[in-house]
Structure 1
Amino acid sequence: RIHTPEQQAIAELPDVKVRLGNLNANNQQKGVDSLIRSDLESLARHRAISDAALVGGDEDLVSAVEAAQGYGARVHLWGIEAAEGRNQAEALLWEVDSQRTFDLDFCRPYVTRRPVTMYENEGEPPPSRDEVRFIGARIAATWLAERGRDQLAELLPGDPYLPGPVDQDLLMEAEGLLSRSLRGHAALRRVLRDGFWQHLRSQY
């Protein structure tokens, strides 16, 4: 639950609350649905809102919608046009009071995907665990030299999980040093994070 600089800037805006879930070992965010439900239910129960705009598509959000509606609030589901098929759960579409879909062309200027680098040696055996762990420690040394002990102190409470942007930068830098992708090697990505954390802990 460590704020990134972007999340910190958003959190400081008036009338805005940032809710952070937890990152699991695969860097997947967990626990956000329950926070959404808690906020929706509390706001509706205290008559602080009459309407809520919910941006999402996960079926797990159905209970949040039901909770808010139980206190008389109307819930409006917003989504982004799917490139193909449907990207919102049918059960969620049935439950909400109204729906709105934003065109892909409307969203594209504000959202970009990082390019995936293709390496020539993808068919070769993957690097060893020791090699990947060493790369993780090497990147950690550079990270610490550039950012200093103050940022290290902010990072340590999240051990063994890394904030999404830090984890993504670690992966991309490691892939560059190894000249191969680690996207299909979950075990090696965990070893990479272990090497990164081991060096940082040794320096604190």
Structure 2
Amino acid sequence: MDVGYLLSAAAVRVTGTSLRNGIQVDYESLVDELVQQAEKLSELPVLRVHWYDSARDGVPDTQQQFIGELSNVKLRLGRFGVEGQQKGVDLRIGLDLVTHARNGVSEVFFLVSGDDDLTEAVEEAQVHGVQVFLLAVPSADDRPHGISRHLIRAADGLKILFPEIIDRTVTKVEMPPMVVASKAGRPQADAIPMSLDGRGDSDPFHPPATYPSGTSIDSEQIDSVVNGVLTTFRKSASAEELAALAAGKPSIPRDIDKALLTDLSDRLGEIDLNEAVRHKLRAQFWAKYDEAYGQ
């Protein structure tokens, strides 16, 4: 279970953006229902759920400790990189998959991930006589979300998590409206302008901006991603989180930055965004934030 994939994909289904803060999860029910689906598909009892996530310095937070204490769940933690990316998670998944296959621990493995980096581990596990099926999170239209084509070709099959599992156990976080103080000290309603509805407010006939490097940047796509992330954050953030965001400017919190990069990568169909695109995306985030909060 690649938790980064599971929750970001579930968030996209529920909120339209991969920002994990925008959802709340009934983890115990989610794990139980995933186990039931795996047993139904394989017609075998589930041995264990391996839960792969990232933690600061590899130390579990309160939520991760709770998950690790659930029956038949093994918590496996990587760490965060400088830009908030997962480090060590794919390696742990790959090593565990191959080791368990080599030791004959199970006959069938269900992999909840879409990462292309796991392709070789899947193929190596299969060499030892096991079957590896992908279990994809459904998009809003019940199609597999964010699965690498290489990984699909390597696996023994692709299944979709029952949509009702996600719909029952993952819900949108909606905090009550609050008042945010502007830099001038005047109370400012936290309502996001109507342009922040995920559609973007750029001119659809305006061509993408071109940077000196020759990189073509689709401003409309960037606006749409920024609008979606900002809207979700505004609806789910506490007053303290909003204040921390403003106080930390121009730095963007790790979870928000990751959602921005992930959502734009999904929109553009590109795994790695170049520096010019990243710069434009982050600059536009603050431009839209200032526009929304009048700062």
Q: Please state which band the TM-score falls in when normalised by the shorter chain.
A: 0.5 to 0.7
- TM-score, L = length of structure 1: 0.56
Q: Distance in 2 between matches of 1:31 and 1:114?
A: 29
Consecutive unaligned residues in structure 2, runs of 5 or more: 1-57, 184-232, 255-295
Inter-CA distance 99–179: structure 2 relative to 1 (3 Å threshold)? closer
* Closer/same/farther in 2, CA of residues 188 and 73 from structure 1, 3 Å limit: closer
Unmatched segments (≥5 aa) in structure 1? 125-167, 191-204
Secondary structure (helix, strand or coil) at the match of 1:176 reads helix
- Going by fraction, where is helix more abundant, 1 or 2? 1
Question: Which residue does 1:112 correspond to in 2?
Answer: 171
Q: Does the 8 Å contact 1:74/1:97 carry over to 2? A: yes
How far apart are residue 100 of structure 1 and its match?
0.9
- Once the two structures are superposed, what CA deviation does each residue of 1:34-61 show, in whole Å capped at 9, x if it has no partner? 1011111111111111110101111111
1:179 to 1:88, Cα distance in 2 relative to 1, 3 A: closer
The structure 2 residue matched to 1:75, chosen from 100, 114, 132, is 132
More strand as a share of residues: 2
Contact (CA 8 Å) 1:21, 1:29: kept in 2 or not? yes
> Secondary structure of the residue that 1:10 maps to in structure 2?
helix
AA aligned opposite 2:91: S
**C-alpha distance in 1, partners of 2:252/2:169?**
32
Give 3-state SS (helix, strand or coil) of 1:187's partner: coil
Q: Deviations over 1:82-115 (max 9, x none)?
A: 2367421111111111221124343122113445
1:31 corresponds to 2:88: yes
- Give, as a single letter, the amino acid of the residue that structure 1 aligns with 2:243: L
Aligned to 1:187: 251
Aligned counterpart, 1:177: 243
Instruction: Please state whether the residue corresponding to 1:72 is helix, strand or coil.
Output: coil
Map 1:159-170 → 2, pairs under 5 A: none
Per-residue deviation, 1:177: 2.9
Partner of 1:90: 149
Distance 1:56 1:179 in 2: 30
SS at match of 2:73: coil
Contact 2:95 / 2:121 at 8 angstroms: preserved in 1?
Answer: yes
Query: Matched residues, percent identical?
Result: 30
How large is the RMSD of aligned CA atoms in angstroms? Answer: 3.5
Q: TM-score by structure 2 length? A: 0.41
